[in-house]
Amino acid sequence: MYENPRLLLDSSNPPEPGHITWRSPSNIALIKYWGKYGVQMPRNPSISLTLAASCTDTMLEYEFLEAADDGEIDLSFYFHGEENEAFKTKTLAFLESLLPVFPFLKQLKLTIQTGNSFPHSAGIASSASGMSALALCLCSLEDALFGTLKDPADYDRKASYIARLGSGSACRSIFSYAAVWGETPAVPGSSNEFAVPFGDELHEIFKNFHDDILIVSQEEKAVSSRDGHALMDGNPYAEARYAQARQRFDVLLEALRSGDLATFGKIVEDEAMTLHALMMCSNPSYTLLRPNTLSIIEKVRDYRTTTGHPVYFTLDAGPNVHLLYPGDIIHEVRAFIEDELKEYCEDGYIQQDWVGEGPEEI
């Protein structure tokens, strides 16, 4: 879609060295993307809230290479200030795959300095913030060198497209408040190739939503998202699941527009349980939930019944619980977490987050 062999630098007029830095957040899916085809194409539409505190800062430094080697991209990679071979190898493979889109990458010496505001692989989607930050740096680099992405909507669409190629869910992190990824008649302009903004349609109550992430375990996941998606191909419930996701998507969209918290909570919790049920009935079957995940879920349900407060849970592909609630009950909910939920968290660790305005260039 974005292949462009003309994006090559003129060696008789080389650019000055420079650098670009983006801070990009993670996002939490309400309707989950689980199952894909082709190159990172989703089997069903998904929608997420964009977070604020869980983010990745990425700086991309560039310098024109007088004698560009036609083979490999010249990359140095630092994670939290230290060279990281594993991340470098992954990033190089990603950048190589993007050469038809950004052919000028071969003409530059590149240095990436990156770091997260949260522990790596804590089950907070570091791939979403990391890949969206990198995609934004690459699009800004293209624009700095060629002036080709001046229109903000074009810019966001391309950044979302590139982020998707890095990690599917990352394409939704480009937009403030909320984003939809996956073609659906319910959202005009939606696409499997990139996410589209949904913030303008979101009821005000959701713009002031919190997501306190209760870290049940920081251990690396036993089954990666990539393998999890692949297992959906042989899952006997897959087709029913994709149909269900579409149905829930339509109902949730209406609740997000109207501010209907009860419908929102019901669907979001059902989605979390479905995601993990799909894992449990994959072949081979696996479980990412931990006993403490279930204890927290029970407590949240009890608390809601007793107090009537609109506090809901969701889960990513991991054991940690995302607690979603409107900002006006923050004091009550924080007290509840402190008194009843913290004991189930590893080292009492809770990552406090909230719905945010999306990435920023820094």
Binding site for ligand PMV (CB under 6 A): 29, 32-34, 46, 125, 127, 167-169, 225, 229, 275, 316-317
Taking the complex as a whole, the smallest distance from the CB of residue 36 to ligand PMV amounts, in Å, to 7
Q: Smallest distance from the beta carbon of 168 to ligand PMV, in angstroms?
A: 4
Which of 168/356 has CB closer to ligand PMV? Answer: 168
Q: How far is the CB of 20 from ligand PMV (least distance, A)?
A: 24
Integer Cα distance of 23 and 21 in angstroms: 7
Pairing mode, if any, of strands 36-37 and 41-42? antiparallel
The Cα-based distances of 73 to 6, 9, 27 in angstroms read 18, 15, 30
Helix (H, G, I), strand (E, B) or coil at 41: strand
What are the E-state strand segments in the chain? Answer: 18-31, 36-37, 41-42, 46-64, 74-79, 82-83, 108-116, 178-181, 195-197, 209-214, 312-315, 321-326, 350-354, 360-361
- Which CB atom, from 33 or from 312, has the smaller least distance to ligand PMV? 33
For ligand PMV, the closer CB: 108 or 178: 178
The nearer residue to ligand PMV, 21 or 46, going by C-beta atoms, is 46
Rounded to a whole number of angstroms, the minimum distance from the CB of residue 82 to ligand PMV is 24
**CA–CA gap between residue 221 and residue 357 (Å, rounded):** 29
Which of 2, 16, 20 lies closest to 140, judged by CA?
20
Minimum distance, C-beta of residue 57 to ligand PMV, in the bound complex (Å): 20
Q: Which is nearer to ligand PMV, 318 or 326 (CB)?
A: 318
